[in-house]
Amino acid sequence: MDLKSIFDALILGVVEGITEFLPVSSTAHLILVGKLLGFENNGKAFEVLIQFGAILALLSVYAGRLWRLAVTLPTDPATRRFALGVIIAFLPAAIVGVLFHGFITRVMFESVTLISIMLILGGVVLLFIDRLPVTPRFGDIMGYPLLVYLGIGLFQTLSLIPGVSRSGATIVGAMLLGSEKRAAAEFSFFLAMPTMLGAFVYDLWKNIDVIDAGAAGVIAIGFVAAFISALIVVKTFLGFVSRHGFALFGWWRIVVGVAGLVVVLFFSAPSVAPEASTPDVPPAAGAPADPQSGANSGDDALGDLIRSQEP
């Protein structure tokens, strides 16, 4: 583990912790920053495991409230109804994520253009929702109707598209369905717990073979950085939203998305056409794909730019 690996892990851990619970898409930021750093990450294992640091930060902040919910679950109908609501909201994204996991991680996660466009569109939506003159009908997440929980869960499935943002999709969905801003952000935290834990366990199972002793050190550094930065965000986010709304996050998404498109459109390396005299011979079955060609070029223009600058 060299100094560059340590630096990359620290930067990406902080990025994960700061962006995971904000409506700006942690996935998009990790992909874009990771490509700019030239970070090597076999099988997405690093992103998967440092997410657990953010999860633990959230659980530690809400430990007292979660304990009270657990204690009252057997006797309090309101608590049981809220737990059912979280489960209902969790299921749509869980089902779609399992069914389309391969396509999402192998195809959609590689398109910087798609990520940048979704960042911009999500930013515009946040600005629109933040200024929408709607009188909230629900100010307590414990009192959402069951159909509202389901509706928020359906909105969460949009976050499977990189750049959309899980928290952004659930917050926007909750507000469109009548929730007050702070309540929408708070329910996003509660829904993050089963969603992120489920995604973590599933992706850990998928990537367990590529985690070795060398990767473990880098992951540990990113994990600690993600935990500390996420702890700060979770403790301050609800108060910030109550005072200032979501406009800042909307503008941030637009700026980052535009920057990504500028790099793709004006600074990416041009693709090289194959020689006319060279036969197009497909690789042998089971042979690894050339990292400088195929799906990694063209669709991933920012990756092409980074590779073109390597000696």
214-237 tens-digit pLDDT: 677 888 889 999 999 999 999 998
Q: Does the structure show a pLDDT above 50 at 238?
A: yes
Helix axes 45-61, 3-19, angle to 10 degrees: 50
pLDDT at 37 over 60: yes
Q: Work out the percent of the chain whose per-residue pLDDT is above 90.
A: 41
Q: How confident is the model at residue 41 (pLDDT cuts 50, 70, 90)?
A: low
SS3 (DSSP) at 179? strand
**Predicted local confidence at residue 105, as pLDDT:** 65
What are the residues whose beta carbons fall under 8 Å from the beta carbon of 87, sequence distance 6 or more?
194
Q: 113 pLDDT exceeds 70? A: yes
Of the candidate ranges 78-92, 102-116, 273-287, the one whose mean pLDDT is the lowest: 273-287
Is 138 strand, coil or helix? Answer: strand
Which of the two residues, 201 and 293, has the higher pLDDT score? Answer: 201
Spatial distance between the Cα atoms of 200 and 205, rounded to a whole number of angstroms: 8
Average pLDDT over every residue of 244-249: 90
pTM given for the model: 0.77
Q: What is the dihedral of CA 136, 140, 142, 146, to 10 degrees?
A: 0
Question: Average model confidence (pLDDT) for the chain?
Answer: 81
CA 297 remoteness from chain centre: 23
pLDDT in the model for residue 212:
65
> What is the phi/psi pair of residue 162, to 5°?
-55, 135
Which residues lie across from 179 on neighbouring strands? Answer: 138
What pLDDT score was predicted for residue 111? 75
The pLDDT value recorded for residue 183 is: 93
How is residue 267 annotated by DSSP? Answer: I
Q: Give the side-chain half-sphere CA count within 13 A for 180.
A: 13
Q: What is the pLDDT of residue 208?
A: 72
Closest CA to 29 of 13, 16, 44, 42: 16
Q: Specify the range with the lowest mean pLDDT, choosing from 68-77, 120-129, 257-266.
A: 257-266
Q: Where are the alpha helices (DSSP H) in 26-107?
A: 26-37, 45-61, 63-72, 77-99, 101-106
